[in-house]
Amino acid sequence: MKWLPSDIHLKILEEIKSFMHQRSETDNTNTDVRSTTHSAVEIQMITLPELDVRETASEKSLPVLSNMNPLHAVKAKLQVYVGGVEVTVGELMNLKEHQVLALDTDLDQTIDLLLEGHVIARGKLVALDGQFAIQIAELPISLKS
């Protein structure tokens, strides 16, 4: 993230400098101070040209998207619900490696494709290039509206 000091930031820096200067003067006149060594904090603004984001409209400006809906570039994480199983805590604690739990979904039953916990499509679980995939069988709602 690039940051350039604004007028308010510069004013705050000046206020800090002024406060530190006043504090230093107050500390020097205080007779109850145990140490006579005082260090002042100096704030110095530096500019780094490579971080300067001020540019003209013609420099590095991005093109305006005229024929694409910007929402098409937003990423969404979909989940596939294959099925579930209900077990007691005792059964859960007694699970062993290689034990099989039968899910409540039949092999020929469609599975749900979820977005934010809401079903947006249903399909069949298939294999594609060594990975699980879903073949869309029905779209309960129109995804374009």
pLDDT average, residue stretch 30-41: 48
Residue 70 backbone phi and psi in degrees, to 5:
-60, -20
Averaged pLDDT score across all residues of the chain: 76
Q: Is residue 128 scored above 60 in pLDDT? A: yes
Domain 71-138 CATH class label: mainly beta
pLDDT of residue 122: 93
Rounded CA separation 85/104 (Å): 6
Q: What is the pLDDT of residues 46-68, one digit of tens each?
A: 776 666 555 544 555 666 656 77
Q: What is the pLDDT of residues 99-122, one digit of tens each?
A: 999 999 998 899 999 998 888 999
The full DSSP string for 79-90 is EEE-------HH
Q: What is the pLDDT of residues 3-13, one digit of tens each?
A: 555 566 667 77
Residue 16 per-residue DSSP state: H
Number of other CB atoms surrounding residue 70 within 10 Å? 7
Radius of gyration over alpha carbons of the chain, in Å?
32
Rounded CA separation 83/63 (Å): 46
Burial class of residue 113 in the structure, from the number of CB atoms within 10 Å of its CB (0-12 exposed, 13-18 middle, 19+ buried): buried
Both tokens of 43, joined, read 């704030």
pLDDT average, residue stretch 115-131: 91
pTM confidence score:
0.46
Rounded CA separation 122/141 (Å): 11
Burial class of residue 13 in the structure, from the number of CB atoms within 10 Å of its CB (0-12 exposed, 13-18 middle, 19+ buried): middle
Domain map (residue ranges) of the chain: 7-30+38-50, 71-138
